[in-house]
């Protein structure tokens, strides 16, 4: 017989590939268990570090001799900028993994990270311009660093919009993975070109951004906030991946219903 | 015979996942020179998806294709060259004539076109130089089908080819399929309405479904529905 | 390989010519949008002269971008794309051929129209030649990067506007160096380095964009 | 008449909300295009301040225009338009409802986004309020005129770019008076007359555009 | 009976011109309550065009429509209210559910919808609240057909309604058409595949062709082909 069904039409369970570390997480149930274990730790570290950082930054560290209290915004501003860039790098890496190994977890990491990264970028832009008003007398200047940050924000928005535009989550994930990689190639170019463009026209503005050597008492809250933000990112990542897995199950139930 | 007389096209244990859902699994088939296969089954059982997998347009989630025993995955270019796929879309530009269309598609296959003969085979000779926008649904469909004749290939994959065809054109398609098989070609057709394909095997896609819905009178199937628990991301 | 590649470009050009005015529309957009600026900004010649390189480049960029969504859309919609994918040409070369055809039908006309608009916007004569050269090197980059965006959005409803969002941030470096070259020429600062960087960008885009676009097309065909 | 009219607007709004970020894209285009100008023109604040009203209005206009092609396109493509045409609502009111829904989903968000961009472009504070008022009166005119263009091009391939060509010349008066109002306010010259003329234009467009659009839709349905 | 029991729908001497070419001419038809008409004929003979003319979507180049003897042209609003047209397109948004779609279209007709009953009639009750993008081709088609039931209208104009329907759905459509006619409604259907419509008249569109092509064995028809001479601009 040329055409044959396997026994009684029941689906054969695909064999689980074991041994490779990557596949240790290849099973959503196992991932969810891991996520449940990570959750309290991430939440705890985030809460402790951020609260400690805020207390230190607002009340303990002495005011700046030049800027008064306004500079305290740096404790949000700088870690947010770092996270914005780190998260984009993670998205690009997981995008490469998604395209090469086609692993669903890599897909999910990208989708779950993007809004968090966009939020940190936005926080950086917001705190920066809030700070800029007292310092520079204007909310915004077309400075190199500011401009490349704004473009990073657009790259995030494009990623989110592209992902959301697909009905099929795996297609959305692969497409936005391609976009993340292209954007990652472009990101240093943007930074470089914008730097160059700016120095041609207005070399003066940048110097304001170059921090004077930071007082050692300011390092502690900065590091605390940075660690807190990282923990917060991990927390959001696991939470968002978990809810995405659940959302997909619901979606699949609906699809199964449609397919009868 | 035009086509390799000892060719054999096989699919082993195919699994198809679309939109994160398994459409079918464990599907195998095998077809020799002159063979024909009729795909049927209710809406949404994966006939079109299977044809796209066989054409190499869709990557199966599991399983593999073999041509004369060698894996198609290792040499997708040759596989593309030996098949014709006619899907739901007619690939006809409003601004291009049927003759130009056939010549162009033959050129993309790096083959010379026999456009005039192909159009004549579907009774389109008089419309050969009319821009596509003037053609009716059935005339467009016939133009798409005439690709089969314009540049020969042993394996024909046809997705509901008779939709919008009138009775005479359907009969002509049936004759052309018979002639193709007589020359050693293979034909795989998905259809709801039935089509004359002498000695064709029939493949009911229902046999390979995964998440069949529980119907009130067969509550036992409920258990089969969510196999997501441990595999859906 | 060469035969199918040329056949594809040839067909796209033929379709563009048959499209009549329809295929000139991106130039017309370029002209109209550039002409809107004197209306919006006011007719002072010195001001116009000052912003001319920027306005011309931004409008050229928007015009190139607006015609992107038709790069793969029609072929996807009517099934030609899957037939082409089943042909002998690897998808990478398909994407490259499409980008070339796009440039020939939109980028090149933009370059040809630019001198007229430069006069309209009172661009100083030092910038004239460099504007054209920078467009000539920069606009193929726009088509190539655009082919990635177009391939990513090809099967989507509302792809057109999403495409803008994806592609515009990627266009920023081209804009900066393109304008930079013209301004450098105007101020006598030497445009060569800008143009060389643009050229490097073109080579990079030629090498990388077809692969990204092909990956996206493969997804769209699934 | 009122029931079907509101049902149509309601459905379009619901579809826009369900579209997620996709339906915000014209705002995003507005933001990105406005941000491109400083990149093209250079970051000097005084220069930016000078061209800010013109740039903002031109970008708002382009953003409104780019989303026009989806006004009737989807409904035509999937057959909804012919069903709506077979309903109780005269096509004139269908066109009006569509224009209103378009404004609510694109024009209004543009107005809301404008203040942020005004900050980015360093618009002087005198112009702030008038910019928003002029957009509030002017953007519905853009949607109404746009509905005519969208209806004329609905069945066409490459309608999108052709649409720009048809619609941009008609947008010029709106642009002139919109920018005029802002500049008048900045220079303390009294913006009232400009705004009144814009208001007159809005009334005229409300009366005339639906008839033209309906005639065009009738053709598209044949 | 639900519908006017003495209604009569007539078309007199219709001429259809598309793309500058006369498709058919001199076509008349007449249908009373409970009547049915089957349009057939090869591709491109104008079945779809005729249905669009009857629906008032396409303006005939000549001739007129009458309802109970009064010209439809004088009161197009009432004509629209008394017909349902189901063409090739399913009018279903990917983001809207079948139930919402039916309610919306009933609202555009200023009529209350009976969405639940209509969906149940096509076995779609379970899918009523699923976004359209999840439905397969046949399910979309059934949603389009359920408009016929959601808000009643005496005249049904159906263009190849059974395309993509599976066997059971086709049978159900036939039952619903019979019930509609029993209540005094009228049905006009274009189809290639045939559909059970008891006592329906058949109208072969070939009879009204203008530019019939000369076939080798009937050279006398050549003269009929170019009637452009005095009418084409
Ligand atoms: C919207 C406006 C602003 C944006 C988008 C912005 C963006 C950034 C970015 C991207 C970084 C880099 C962080 C890193 O390299 O890890 C940064 C660092 C910093 N910014 Fe801002 N910034 C803005 C406004 C300001 C203002 C007004 C000030 C104060 C005058 C300021 C002071 C700083 C300082 C002191 C640093 C740390 C510098 C370093 O460690 O290299 N920023 N900002
Ligand atoms: N592009 C797509 N993305 C996601 N899912 C899809 C896509 N196309 C089809 N599906 C799903 O895959 C399943 C199989 O679809 P397919 O088109 O292969 O069925 P079919 O047997 O050809 O049905 P029909 O008889 O309606 O043509 C369906 O349940 C459908 O919902
Ligand atoms: N939009 C259009 N513009 C111009 N000509 C058209 C258009 N649609 C159809 N035609 C022409 O009108 C004629 C009749 O087409 P129509 O679609 O009514 O035929 P049909 O009988 O429904 O054919 P089919 O069986 O293929 O559906 C055809 O010759 C076709 O070329
Ligand atoms: Mg199918
Ligand atoms: Mg038809």
- pLDDT reading at B167 higher than 90: no
Secondary structure, 3-state, E145-168: HHHHHHCCCCEEEEECCCCCCCHH
Average pLDDT over residues B208-231: 44
Looking up tokens 């839709």, which residue turns up? D217
CA D4–ligand 4 middle distance (angstroms): 35
Of C16-20, D69-73, E152-156, which one has max mean pLDDT?
E152-156
- pLDDT reading at A201 higher than 60: no
- Is there a domain that residue E121 lies in? yes
pLDDT computed for residue E6 by the predictor: 75
Please tell me if the CB atom of residue E23 comes closer than 6 angstroms to any atom of ligand 3.
yes
Mutate to test the interface with D, among A142, A144, A158, A196 (most CBs of D within 10 A): A142
Q: Which chain B residue shows the shortest CA-CA distance from A14? A: B62
Which structural domain, as residue segments, surrounds residue C215?
Answer: 2-221
End-to-end alpha-carbon separation of chain A, Å?
28
Please answer yes or no on whether A175 and C165 come within 8 Å at the CB atom: no
Looking up tokens 């015979």, which residue turns up? B1
Mutate to test the interface with E, among D75, D76, D80 (most CBs of E within 10 A): D80
Structure confidence by residue, pLDDT tens digits, E102-135: 999 999 988 888 888 999 999 888 888 888 887 8
Among the listed residues B29, B207, B228, B219, the one whose alpha carbon sits nearest the alpha carbon of residue A10: B207
DSSP class of residue A70 equals G
Number of domains in chain B: 1
Structure confidence by residue, pLDDT tens digits, C162-179: 888 899 899 999 999 999
Number of domains in chain C: 1
Helix (H, G, I), strand (E, B), or coil: what is residue B29? strand
Please answer yes or no on whether C164 and D32 come within 8 Å at the CB atom: yes
Among the listed residues D219, D182, D187, the one whose alpha carbon sits nearest the alpha carbon of residue D198: D182
Structure confidence by residue, pLDDT tens digits, E18-76: 877 888 999 999 999 999 999 988 888 889 999 999 999 999 999 999 999 899 998 88
Question: In this predicted structure, which of A16-20, D113-117, D121-125, E151-155 has the lowest mean pLDDT?
Answer: A16-20
Contacts of A182 in chain C (CB under 8 A): 145, 148, 170, 208, 212
Average pLDDT over residues A217-233: 90
Model confidence band, residue C127 (pLDDT cutoffs 50, 70, 90): confident
- Put simply, whether A257 touches B (Cβ < 8 Å) is yes
Of D33-47, D117-131, D204-218, E40-54, which one has max mean pLDDT?
D204-218
Q: Of A140, A161, A201, which is closest to D22 when you measure between CB atoms?
A: A161
CA E160–ligand 5 middle distance (angstroms): 7
d(CA D165, CA D149): 9
Average pLDDT over residues D170-199: 90
CA C41–ligand 3 middle distance (angstroms): 51
- Is there a domain that residue B177 lies in? no
Residue having the nearest C-alpha atom to atom 29 of ligand 2: B44
Residues of B with CB under 8 A from a CB of A: 13, 15, 18-23, 25-31, 35, 37, 42, 44-45, 62, 201, 203, 207-213, 224-233
pLDDT computed for residue A199 by the predictor: 60
Which structural domain, as residue segments, surrounds residue B141?
Answer: 91-152
The secondary structure of A21-57 as a DSSP string is GGGGG-SHHHHHHHHHHHHHHHHHHHHHHHHHHHHII
Name the helix (H) or strand (E) containing E17.
strand E8-18
Long-range contacts, B44-47 (Cβ 8 Å, 24+):
B44/A258, B44/A259, B44/A260, B44/E136, B44/E138, B44/E139, B45/A259, B45/B205, B45/B206, B45/B209, B46/B16, B46/B18, B46/B205, B46/B208, B46/B209, B47/B159, B47/B190, B47/B205
Summary mean pLDDT of chain B: 83
Give the distance from residue C135's alpha carbon to the nearest chain B alpha carbon, in angstroms: 31
Structure confidence by residue, pLDDT tens digits, A101-130: 888 888 899 999 999 999 999 999 999 988
Please answer yes or no on whether A154 and D22 come within 8 Å at the CB atom: no
Residue having the nearest C-alpha atom to atom 3 of ligand 3: E19
ipTM over 0.90: no
DSSP class of residue A68 equals B
- pLDDT reading at A210 higher than 70: no
Structure confidence by residue, pLDDT tens digits, A156-179: 999 998 998 887 888 889 999 999
- pLDDT reading at B74 higher than 70: yes
Beta bridge partner(s), residue E38: E189, E202
The secondary structure of D69-114 as a DSSP string is GGTTHHHHHTSHHHHHHTSSS-HHHHHHHHHHHHIIIIIHHHHHHH
- Is there a domain that residue E192 lies in? no
- pLDDT reading at B64 higher than 50: yes
Give the total residue count for chain B.
233
Q: What percent of chain C has pLDDT over 70?
A: 96
Long-range contacts, C9-12 (Cβ 8 Å, 24+):
C9/C97, C9/C100, C9/C101, C9/C104, C11/B96, C11/B104, C12/C97, C12/C98, C12/C101, C12/C102, C12/C105
Please tell me which residue, B145 or D125, carries the higher pLDDT value: B145
d(CA A250, CA C157): 24
Q: Of D54, D61, D172, which is closest to C41 when you measure between CB atoms?
A: D54
A116: CB partners within 8 A, 6+ apart: A87, A233, A236, A237, A240
- Is there a domain that residue B138 lies in? yes
Residues 141-180 of chain E whose Cβ lies under 8 A from any Cβ of chain D: 144, 147
Name the helix (H) or strand (E) containing C36.
helix C25-41
Phi (first) and psi of residue D77, to 5 degrees:
-60, -45
Closest atom, ligand 1, to C-alpha of A210: 38
Residues 84-103 of chain B whose Cβ lies under 8 A from any Cβ of chain C: 85, 87-93, 95-96
pLDDT computed for residue A205 by the predictor: 40
pLDDT computed for residue A2 by the predictor: 41
- pLDDT reading at C85 higher than 60: yes
- Put simply, whether C183 touches D (Cβ < 8 Å) is yes
- pLDDT reading at C101 higher than 90: yes
- Put simply, whether A256 touches E (Cβ < 8 Å) is no
d(CA A148, CA B205): 53
Contacts of B223 in chain A (CB under 8 A): none
Among the listed residues E8, E10, E22, E9, the one whose alpha carbon sits nearest the alpha carbon of residue E60: E22
Secondary structure, 3-state, A176-207: HHHHHHHHHHHHHHHHHHHHHHHHHHCCCHHH
Mutate to test the interface with E, among A169, A250, A255, A258 (most CBs of E within 10 A): A258
Q: Which chain A residue shows the shortest CA-CA distance from B214? A: A260
Model confidence band, residue B233 (pLDDT cutoffs 50, 70, 90): low
The edge-to-edge listing of strands for the beta sheet with B36-40 is B83-86, B155-159, B186-190, B36-40, B201-204
- Put simply, whether A257 touches E (Cβ < 8 Å) is yes
- Is there a domain that residue B18 lies in? no
Please answer yes or no on whether B107 and C80 come within 8 Å at the CB atom: no
Structure confidence by residue, pLDDT tens digits, E199-229: 888 999 888 887 554 333 333 333 333 344 3
pLDDT computed for residue B230 by the predictor: 42
pLDDT computed for residue C122 by the predictor: 81
Beta bridge partner(s), residue B158: B86, B189
Chain centre distance of CA C95: 14
User: What six digits make up the tokens of C18?
Assistant: 């048959």
pLDDT computed for residue D206 by the predictor: 95
Give the total residue count for chain C.
222
pLDDT computed for residue C125 by the predictor: 83
Contacts of A147 in chain D (CB under 8 A): 38-39
- pLDDT reading at B31 higher than 50: yes
Summary mean pLDDT of chain A: 80
Q: Which chain B residue shows the shortest CA-CA distance from C86? A: B80
Question: Would you say the C-alpha torsion B161, B164, B165, B166 has a positive or negative sign?
Answer: positive
In this structure, the number of other CB atoms found within 10 A of the CB of residue A219 comes to 11
Please tell me if the CB atom of residue B195 comes closer than 6 angstroms to any atom of ligand 3.
no
CA C95–ligand 2 middle distance (angstroms): 27
- Is there a domain that residue E225 lies in? no
- pLDDT reading at E168 higher than 90: no
Please tell me if the CB atom of residue A209 comes closer than 6 angstroms to any atom of ligand 1.
yes
Mutate to test the interface with D, among E46, E85, E92, E109 (most CBs of D within 10 A): E109
Residue having the nearest C-alpha atom to atom 28 of ligand 2: B44
Please tell me which residue, B125 or C25, carries the higher pLDDT value: B125
- Is there a domain that residue E157 lies in? no
Please answer yes or no on whether A138 and D122 come within 8 Å at the CB atom: yes
CA C187–ligand 5 middle distance (angstroms): 65
- Is there a domain that residue B167 lies in? no
Please tell me if the CB atom of residue A79 comes closer than 6 angstroms to any atom of ligand 1.
no
d(CA A56, CA A63): 12
Contacts of C95 in chain B (CB under 8 A): none
Give the total residue count for chain D.
222
Please tell me if the CB atom of residue A77 comes closer than 6 angstroms to any atom of ligand 1.
yes
d(CA E12, CA D161): 42
- pLDDT reading at C140 higher than 90: yes
């Amino acid at each position: 017989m040329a055409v044959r069904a396997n026994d009684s039409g029941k689906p054969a369970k695909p064999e689980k590939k074991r041994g490779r570390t990557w596949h240790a997480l290849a099973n959503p149930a196992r991932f969810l268990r891991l996520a449940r274990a990570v959750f309290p730790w991430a939440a705890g570290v985030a809460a402790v570090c951020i609260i400690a950082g805020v207390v230190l930054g607002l009340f303990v560290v002495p005011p700046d001799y030049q800027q008064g209290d306004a500079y305290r915004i740096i404790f949000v501003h700088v870690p947010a900028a770092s996270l914005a860039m780190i998260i984009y790098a993670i998205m690009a890496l997981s995008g490469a993994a998604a395209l090469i190994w086609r692993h669903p977890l890599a897909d999910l990491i990208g989708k779950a990270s993007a809004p968090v990264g966009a939020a940190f970028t936005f926080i950086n832009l917001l705190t920066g311009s809030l700070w800029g008003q007292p310092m520079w007398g204007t909310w915004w200047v077309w400075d190199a660093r500011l401009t490349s940050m704004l473009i990073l924000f657009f790259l995030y928005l494009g990623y989110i919009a592209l992902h959301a535009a697909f009905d099929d989550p795996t297609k959305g994930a692969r497409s936005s993975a391609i976009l993340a990689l292209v954007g990652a190639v472009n990101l240093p170019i943007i930074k470089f070109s914008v730097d160059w463009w700016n120095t041609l026209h207005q070399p003066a503005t940048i110097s304001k951004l170059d921090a004077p050597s930071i007082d050692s008492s300011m390092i502690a809250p900065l590091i605390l906030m940075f660690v807190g933000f990282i923990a917060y990112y991990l927390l959001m990542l696991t939470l968002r991946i978990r809810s995405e897995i659940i959302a997909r199950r619901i979606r699949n139930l609906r699809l199964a219903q449609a397919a009868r | 015979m035009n086509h390799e007389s000892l060719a054999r096209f096989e699919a082993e244990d195919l699994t198809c996942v679309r939109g994160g859902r398994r459409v079918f699994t464990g599907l195998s088939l095998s077809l020799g020179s002159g063979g024909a296969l009729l795909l049927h089954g209710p809406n949404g059982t994966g006939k079109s998806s299977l044809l796209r997998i066989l054409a190499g347009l869709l990557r199966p989630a599991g399983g593999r294709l073999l041509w004369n025993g060698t894996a198609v995955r290792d040499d997708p270019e040759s596989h593309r060259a030996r098949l014709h796929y006619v899907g739901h879309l007619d690939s006809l530009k409003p601004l291009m004539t049927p003759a130009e269309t056939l010549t162009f598609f033959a050129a993309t296959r790096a083959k010379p076109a026999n456009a005039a003969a192909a159009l004549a085979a579907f009774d389109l000779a008089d419309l050969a130089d009319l821009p596509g926008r003037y053609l009716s649904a059935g005339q467009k469909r016939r133009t798409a089908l005439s690709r089969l004749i314009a540049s020969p290939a042993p394996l024909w994959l046809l997705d509901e080819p008779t939709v919008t065809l009138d009775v005479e054109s359907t009969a002509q398609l049936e004759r052309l399929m018979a002639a193709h098989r007589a020359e050693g070609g293979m034909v795989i057709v998905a259809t709801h309405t039935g089509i004359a394909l002498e000695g064709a095997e029939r493949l009911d896609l229902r046999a390979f479904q995964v998440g069949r819905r529980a119907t009130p009178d067969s509550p036992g199937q409920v258990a089969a529905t969510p196999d997501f628990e441990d595999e859906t991301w | 390989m060469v035969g199918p590649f040329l056949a594809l470009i040839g067909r796209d050009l033929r379709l563009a010519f048959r499209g009549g005015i329809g295929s000139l529309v991106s130039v017309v957009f370029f002209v109209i949008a550039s002409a809107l600026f004197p209306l919006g900004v006011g007719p002072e010649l010195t001001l116009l002269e000052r912003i001319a390189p920027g306005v011309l480049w931004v409008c050229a960029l928007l015009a190139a971008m607006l015609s992107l969504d038709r790069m793969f859309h029609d072929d996807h919609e009517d099934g030609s794309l899957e037939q082409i994918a089943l042909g002998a040409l690897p998808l990478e070369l398909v994407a490259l051929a499409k980008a070339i055809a796009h440039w020939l039908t939109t980028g090149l006309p933009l370059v040809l129209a630019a001198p007229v608009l430069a006069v309209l916007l009172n661009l100083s004569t030092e910038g004239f030649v460099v504007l054209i050269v920078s467009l000539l090197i920069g606009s193929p980059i726009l088509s190539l990067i655009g082919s990635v965006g177009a391939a990513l959005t090809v099967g989507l409803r509302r792809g057109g506007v999403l495409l803008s969002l994806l592609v515009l941030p990627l266009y920023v470096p081209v804009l900066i160096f393109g304008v930079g070259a013209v301004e450098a020429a105007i101020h006598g600062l030497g445009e060569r380095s800008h143009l060389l960087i643009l050229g490097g960008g073109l080579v990079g885009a030629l090498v990388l964009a077809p692969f990204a676009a092909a990956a996206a097309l493969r997804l769209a065909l699934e």
